[in-house]
Amino acid sequence: MKPETLLYPTPKGLFCEKGGFYIDPVQPVERALITHGHADHARAGHTHVMATRETLEIMRIRYGDTFCVSTQEAVLGTRTTIGDVTVSFHPAGHVLGSAQIAVEAGGMRIVVSGDYKRRRDPTCLSFEPVPCDVFITEATFGLPVFHHPDDRGEIAKLLTSLKQFPERAHLVGAYALGKAQRIIMLLREAGYDAPIFIHGALARLCDYYESEGIQLGDLRPATIDAKDKQSFAGAVVVGPPSAFADKWARRFPDPMPIFASGWMLVRQRAKQRGVELPMIMSDHCDWPELTATINEIKPAEVWVTHGREEALVRWCELQGIAARPLHLVGYDDEGE
Amino acid sequence: MADYFRDAPDPDRGYALAVIAGTLTLKAVKPNVLRQLVLERMDEVLFRYSYDYVGDLAETISLVWEPPATGKPASSDLSLGTVMHQLETAGRANVHGLVRDLLDQLEGSSRFAFLKLITGGLRIGVSARLVKQALADMGNVDITEIETLWHGLSPPYVSLFQWLDGKTDKPKLDMPAVFHAVMLATPVGDNDLASLDPKDFAAEWKWDGIRVQLANLAGTRRLYSRSGDDISSAFPDILEAADFEGIIDGELLVGGTMRTNRATRTFSDLQQRLNRKTVTRKMLEDYPAFIRGYDLLFSGSRDMRPESFLTRRAALSALIEKAAPSHFDLSPLVPFSSWEELDRLRKEPPDPVIEGIMLKRLDSSYTSGRSKGPWFKWKREPYNIDAVLMYAQRGHGKRSSYYSDFTFGVWTESEGKDVLVPVGKAYFGFTDAELEVLDRYVRNNTIERFGPVRSIRAEPDHGFVVEVAFEGINFSSRHKSGVAMRFPRISRLRTDKLPRDADRLETLLAMIGTPEINVASPAEPI
C-alpha cells in the first residue's frame, strides 16, 4: 500500500479516507483526531473529537462544553479501530496532553507527530519515539540556525535580572497554554518561591494544570488592589505576549519586557518586539533535535507539515531519506 | 571617545577607530572566505536557506557554526590589535585556518561580534562626523583638517594618531586625487521656502543619474561615487577625456551631452554601466557616459570650496568650456522669479531624465555633509497607481516573521477576460502599523503556498488594493507585463477600494509615453 492512500493533505487538513477522519483539521469536520490543545490545531465546531483526556479538557476550558457534539478519550498507547484503520496516541512532549497519532492499515504505519520537543519539560510527558514507515514532522525551527540553549540558563538570566533590577516589574510574555506553566515550574525548580503574578488569561489553564498535579506554587492575579504600583517592584508577572503591548502593562512600575520564545534566538526579532530580556525557550524542537529524531526513528519517508519545510526536506535528501513538504495551510508557524 | 583615543595604545586605537568609523576592510577576509569556511562543514543549500532567513551573513554564520567534536583549539591572545594584526598580515593561504580557529574558540555572541567586526558590519551607532570631531578634540585641530585627510588614510591610522599626539608632522597624503566628502541637500519641507527670497538662490535641474566626483591632480585621475567608492575602472572613457586639472562634482549620465545636441538617456541605460569591474568596447559605444558638471572643488590645486557658489560656478563654466564636448557639459541654470513659478517648472520638467529641482544659495561655500540651508532638493511628484496585491513573501532579517515583500498587479484583457498581470514588487513605503494590516491580510487570504511565497486572493470583489508610488517607468522585455517601474513603494493602503477599481495596464503604458526631448539651451554662465 502506498502511504498516500492512507493519509493525504486536503484543504481541511490531513485526511484518512479509510478511517473517515481528519487530524488537526482547520475547518469543521465530522470526525477529528486532535494532537494537542493549541488553538491552530484544536478548533471548535467538529462533530466528533478524539483526543487525550487532557486535550479534551483544555478544549472544554477554551471553547466551552459545546465545542463539539461528542468526544472520545484516547488512552496513550492503546490501539483503537476506526473504520478500516487502527490508531494510537503517544506522548509528544509539547504541552500537557499533547500526543503523536499513529495511523495503521495493511502493514503501513504513519506517525503524525503534531508539535513536539525532545527536552525535559516538568509539565508534560516526554516524547516517545514510535517506529514507523512515514514520520510526519513539523519544522517550526527547521533551519540550521536554530540551537535552543539549555532552559536552566535562560531561567538564570531572569533570576539575575531580578537581582540587578529590584525596582522593576519583570513582565514575562509566554503563551497561555504550556509555555507559561513551564516557565513557572522552572522558576520553582530553580528555587524561586516568591509569589508569581499572572494575567487573567492564564488563570483557568494554570488552575487546570494544578488540578492535574502540576504544582505551580503561589500564583496571584496581576491586578492592582491597593493602588500601589510599587507592590510589583521586582516581581515576576507572566502573561500572554499580546498583553504586554497593551495598556495593561502600564500599571506596572518601570516594566521590563521579557519574551520567552524560540524566536528570541534571532536578535532582530527581539529588537523588533522591543524585548529587553529575550529568553530563548521553545516548546518545539531545534534543528539538532529535529534531525536527531529523524535519525532515531529511521522512517522510510518523512513528510513535513508546517514551518521551514524546505530546509528539513533538503537535509533528509542529503541523508538519503525520501521527504516531501505537505504544504498544509492554516497552521501558525510563527506563534510560539 | 577622545579620552579613549588619547589613552589606548597603537595599533588598538587605530583599529577601534576603523571599527567605529566603518572603514575596516580586511583584504584577506572577504565574505567569500567566511562562506567557504562555513561550507566546509555545511551543505550549501541549507546555508542559503539559513542566510535568507537571518538576512545577515555574520549573524547566520555565528548561529550555524558548529565547533568540532574534537574540542576547541587552545586559546590564544584575543586582543583587538593582535587579532587584527594577525588577520592583516596573514597571507591568503593562512587566513582560512586563522579565522576557523578563532571561530572555534569564541562562543555565541562574541563569535557574532567577531564576524561583524571582520566583515566591517559592526555598527556602533556613532556618526562619522562625531568620530572626526572626537579626533579633532583629541589633537586640538580643526575638524576640516581631519576631513581632508580622512579618505587618504587607512587603518590602523598610526600616522594620524602620531600627529594628533603632537609627536610628528601632519601626515602627507601620498595620493592627491583623493575623495572629498560631497555637499548634500536637504529636501524642501512644507514651509521652508516661505521665509526665503528667490533672489538669493540659483535653481538647477536635478538629473537622474548618479552623483560623482572626478579628480585629476598631479597625474592621478579618479572617479568616485558620492560615498567615496572608487569607480574609475568602470569609466575609462571619462577618465581619458578628463584633461583638466582639478576636482569637479557632477552627475554621471549616459547618452549625449547638451553640447553635442544629443539626448540624455534614462537611468536604466546608465545601470548597464554601473557595478562593473571592466567594460567592453561595445559597452562604451552603446552606452557612452558623460558628466554634467555641478560644482568645482579644486581648480588645479587651488581649493575653491571656501568660495561662493557664484564664483565656483563661473570657474566651472570656464573649465568645462575647454573640456571635451563629448564627455562634459554644464548643468544649466533654471531662471525663475518666484517659488510658484519654480514649482510649475518642477512639475513639468522639459526632459524625462530630470527628477526635480536643486536650489543653491548664491553665497554658499562648498561644505561637506548635509546641513540645512545652503542647498535644497525639490523632487518632482512621484507617479501613482492603484494596484492589487497578488503574492507576498516573508521579509528578511527583522522582517522575517512578516509577509513584507509584495508583488502587485493591474488589470489587462486576455482572451476576452480581465485578468491581473503582475507589474512590480515593493517591500517598503508602509508604516509598521500598516505592515501588521498587510501581514494579517496575507495570512487570512492565502490561496496557495510555494515555499516562502504565498499567493493571495485577488478577485474583482475580494482583494487588497494599494496605492503604489514610483519615480519612473520604462518598457522592459524582462517583465511579463512589458513595463518596469523605478523605486516602487506602497504609499497608501486603499482599503476603501475594491480590486475592480484598480488601474489598468494601459494606464501604465500611457505614462511611459514619448516625452519630447527638449532641453533648455546650452548652458550660459551667469
Contacts of A264 in chain B (CB under 8 A): none
Contacts of B398 in chain A (CB under 8 A): 268-269, 271-272
* Residue, of B320 and A254, whose pLDDT is higher: B320
Window 126-145 of A: residues touching B by CB (8 A cutoff) are 143-145
Amino acid letter, A53: R
Kindly provide the ipTM of the predicted complex, given to two decimals. 0.86
Report CB contact under 8 Å: B64, A145: yes
Contacts of A314 in chain B (CB under 8 A): 43, 45-46, 49
CA dihedral B211, B152, B122, B436 (to 10 degrees): -10
For residues B195 and B286, membership in a common domain is answered with: yes
pLDDT on residue B463 = 94
8-state DSSP, B369: B
Q: Does A269 touch chain B (CB under 8 A)?
A: yes
B502-513 pLDDT, tens digit each? 999 988 888 775
Over residues B468-488, the mean pLDDT reads 83
Q: Which of B89-103, B140-154, B289-303 has the highest mean pLDDT?
A: B289-303
Amino acid letter, B321: E
Report CB contact under 8 Å: B46, A314: yes
pLDDT on residue B362 = 94
pTM (predicted TM-score): 0.60
Contacts of A265 in chain B (CB under 8 A): 63
- How far apart are the CA of B266 and the nearest CA of chain A, in angstroms? 37
pLDDT on residue A17 = 95
pLDDT on residue B142 = 82
Window 12-31 of A: residues touching B by CB (8 A cutoff) are none
pLDDT on residue B513 = 57
Is residue B58 scored above 80 in pLDDT?
yes
pLDDT on residue B349 = 85
A265, A267, A311 ranked by CB distance to B46: nearest: A311
B401 within a domain of the structure (yes/no): yes
- How far apart are the CA of A12 and the nearest CA of chain B, in angstroms? 13
Q: Does A267 touch chain B (CB under 8 A)?
A: yes
Is residue B521 scored above 60 in pLDDT?
no
pLDDT on residue B409 = 95
* Residue, of A91 and B399, whose pLDDT is higher: A91
B5-36 pLDDT, tens digit each? 888 888 888 888 888 877 776 666 777 888 88
Q: List the CATH number of the domain containing B318.
A: 3.30.470.30
Instruction: Kindly identify which residue of chain A lies nearest to residue B448, measuring between CA atoms.
Output: A329
Q: Does B401 touch chain A (CB under 8 A)?
A: yes
B46, B59, B401 ranked by CB distance to A315: nearest: B46
- How far apart are the CA of B13 and the nearest CA of chain A, in angstroms? 28
Over residues B253-280, the mean pLDDT reads 87
Domain boundaries, chain A: 3-145+284-325, 151-279
- How far apart are the CA of B463 and the nearest CA of chain A, in angstroms? 19
From the number of C-beta atoms within 10 Å of its C-beta (0-12, 13-18, 19+), residue B348 rates as exposed
Contacts of A143 in chain B (CB under 8 A): 46, 49-50, 53
Query: Rg of chain B over CA atoms, in angstroms?
Result: 27
Is residue B68 scored above 80 in pLDDT?
no
Over residues B431-444, the mean pLDDT reads 90
- How far apart are the CA of A194 and the nearest CA of chain B, in angstroms? 32
pLDDT on residue B522 = 37
B45, B50, B398 ranked by CB distance to A145: nearest: B50
Round to whole Å and give the CA distance between A199 and A220.
9
- How far apart are the CA of B1 and the nearest CA of chain A, in angstroms? 26
- How far apart are the CA of A329 and the nearest CA of chain B, in angstroms? 8
Q: Which of A214, A207, A279, A273 is nearest to A244 (CA)?
A: A273
Last residue within a domain, chosen from B72, B99, B118: B118
pLDDT on residue B331 = 95
B410 within a domain of the structure (yes/no): yes
For residues B284 and B363, membership in a common domain is answered with: yes
B332 within a domain of the structure (yes/no): yes
Residues 6+ apart with CB under 8 A from B115: B34, B57, B58, B59, B61, B62, B103
Is residue B88 scored above 70 in pLDDT?
yes
pLDDT band, very low/low/confident/very high, at B122 (cuts 50, 70, 90): low
Mean pLDDT of chain B: 85
Over residues B261-273, the mean pLDDT reads 86
Question: Quick one: cell of B355?
Answer: 527628477
Last residue within a domain, chosen from B353, B379, B405: B379
* Residue, of B153 and A137, whose pLDDT is higher: A137
Report CB contact under 8 Å: B64, A144: yes
Last residue within a domain, chosen from B118, B138, B171: B118
Q: Does B63 touch chain A (CB under 8 A)?
A: yes
* Residue, of B127 and A98, whose pLDDT is higher: A98
Question: Quick one: cell of B69?
Answer: 567534536
Q: Does B45 touch chain A (CB under 8 A)?
A: yes
Is residue B525 scored above 50 in pLDDT?
no
pLDDT band, very low/low/confident/very high, at A72 (cuts 50, 70, 90): very high
Report CB contact under 8 Å: B446, A266: no
Q: List the CATH number of the domain containing B401.
A: 2.40.50.140
Round to whole Å and give the CA distance between A84 and B25.
67
pLDDT band, very low/low/confident/very high, at A107 (cuts 50, 70, 90): very high
Most B CBs within 10 Å: which of A267, A309, A333, as the mutation test of the B interface?
Answer: A267
B8 within a domain of the structure (yes/no): no
Contacts of A271 in chain B (CB under 8 A): 398
Over residues B517-526, the mean pLDDT reads 36
A147-167 pLDDT, tens digit each? 999 999 999 999 999 999 999
Over residues B489-505, the mean pLDDT reads 90
Contacts of B399 in chain A (CB under 8 A): 272
For residues B217 and B348, membership in a common domain is answered with: yes
Q: Does B453 touch chain A (CB under 8 A)?
A: no
Over residues B132-140, the mean pLDDT reads 88
B19 within a domain of the structure (yes/no): no
Instruction: Kindly identify which residue of chain B lies nearest to residue A310, measuring between CA atoms.
Output: B451
Q: Does A315 touch chain B (CB under 8 A)?
A: yes
For residues B337 and B450, membership in a common domain is answered with: no
Over residues B233-252, the mean pLDDT reads 93
- How far apart are the CA of B45 and the nearest CA of chain A, in angstroms? 8
pLDDT band, very low/low/confident/very high, at B460 (cuts 50, 70, 90): very high
Cβ count near B326 (within 10 Å): 15
- How far apart are the CA of B47 and the nearest CA of chain A, in angstroms? 8
- How far apart are the CA of B72 and the nearest CA of chain A, in angstroms? 19
Is residue A274 scored above 50 in pLDDT?
yes
pLDDT on residue B489 = 92
Total domain count, chain B: 3
In terms of DSSP bridges, do strands B453-456 and B289-299 run parallel, antiparallel, or are they unpaired?
Answer: unpaired
- How far apart are the CA of A182 and the nearest CA of chain B, in angstroms? 24
From the number of C-beta atoms within 10 Å of its C-beta (0-12, 13-18, 19+), residue B470 rates as buried
Residues 6+ apart with CB under 8 A from B211: B182, B225, B226, B249, B250, B251, B252
Contacts of A309 in chain B (CB under 8 A): 451
How many interface pairs between A and B have CB atoms less than 8 angstroms apart?
A: 56
Report CB contact under 8 Å: B451, A310: yes
pLDDT band, very low/low/confident/very high, at B77 (cuts 50, 70, 90): low
Q: Does A265 touch chain B (CB under 8 A)?
A: yes
Q: Which of A134-148, B343-357, B477-491 has the highest mean pLDDT?
A: A134-148
Contacts of A327 in chain B (CB under 8 A): 449
For residues B340 and B394, membership in a common domain is answered with: no
Instruction: Name the percent of chain B lying above pLDDT 70.
Output: 91
B525 within a domain of the structure (yes/no): no
Is residue B198 scored above 80 in pLDDT?
yes
Instruction: Kindly identify which residue of chain B lies nearest to residue A263, measuring between CA atoms.
Output: B401
Query: Three-state SS for B46?
Result: helix
For residues B368 and B400, membership in a common domain is answered with: no
pLDDT band, very low/low/confident/very high, at B526 (cuts 50, 70, 90): very low
What one-character-per-residue DSSP string does B314-349 give?
HHHHHHHHHS-TTTEEEPPB---SSHHHHHHHHHS-
CATH of domain A151-279: 3.40.50
- How far apart are the CA of B71 and the nearest CA of chain A, in angstroms? 18
Residues of chain A by 3-state class (helix, strand, coil), percent to 5: 30, 25, 45
Is residue B397 scored above 80 in pLDDT?
no
Round to whole Å and give the CA distance between B328 and B324.
6
Report CB contact under 8 Å: B398, A263: no
B43, B64, B401 ranked by CB distance to A314: nearest: B43
For residues B246 and B197, membership in a common domain is answered with: yes
pLDDT band, very low/low/confident/very high, at B514 (cuts 50, 70, 90): very low
Instruction: Kindly identify which residue of chain A lies nearest to residue B444, measuring between CA atoms.
Output: A330
pLDDT on residue B80 = 75
* Residue, of B123 and A326, whose pLDDT is higher: A326
For residues B430 and B287, membership in a common domain is answered with: no
Contacts of B47 in chain A (CB under 8 A): 144
Question: Quick one: cell of B323?
Answer: 573640456
Is residue B332 scored above 90 in pLDDT?
yes
For residues B321 and B393, membership in a common domain is answered with: no
Report CB contact under 8 Å: A147, B54: no
The residue segments making up the domain with residue B485 are 383-512
pLDDT band, very low/low/confident/very high, at B225 (cuts 50, 70, 90): confident
Over residues B62-85, the mean pLDDT reads 74
8-state DSSP, B426: E
From the number of C-beta atoms within 10 Å of its C-beta (0-12, 13-18, 19+), residue A146 rates as buried
pLDDT band, very low/low/confident/very high, at A232 (cuts 50, 70, 90): confident
A147, A263, A267 ranked by CB distance to B59: nearest: A267
B66 within a domain of the structure (yes/no): yes
pLDDT on residue A165 = 92
Report CB contact under 8 Å: B401, A263: yes
What's domain A3-145+284-325's superfamily in CATH? Ribonuclease Z/Hydroxyacylglutathione hydrolase-like (3.60.15.10)
B447 within a domain of the structure (yes/no): yes
For residues B502 and B489, membership in a common domain is answered with: yes
For residues B370 and B409, membership in a common domain is answered with: no
CA dihedral B394, B396, B400, B405 (to 10 degrees): -30
Instruction: Name the percent of chain B lying above pLDDT 90.
Output: 36
pLDDT on residue B381 = 77
Is residue B253 scored above 60 in pLDDT?
yes
CA atoms within 13 A on the CB side of B354: 26
Q: Does A259 touch chain B (CB under 8 A)?
A: no
Report CB contact under 8 Å: A271, B59: no
pLDDT on residue B25 = 67
Q: Does B60 touch chain A (CB under 8 A)?
A: yes
Q: Does B446 touch chain A (CB under 8 A)?
A: yes
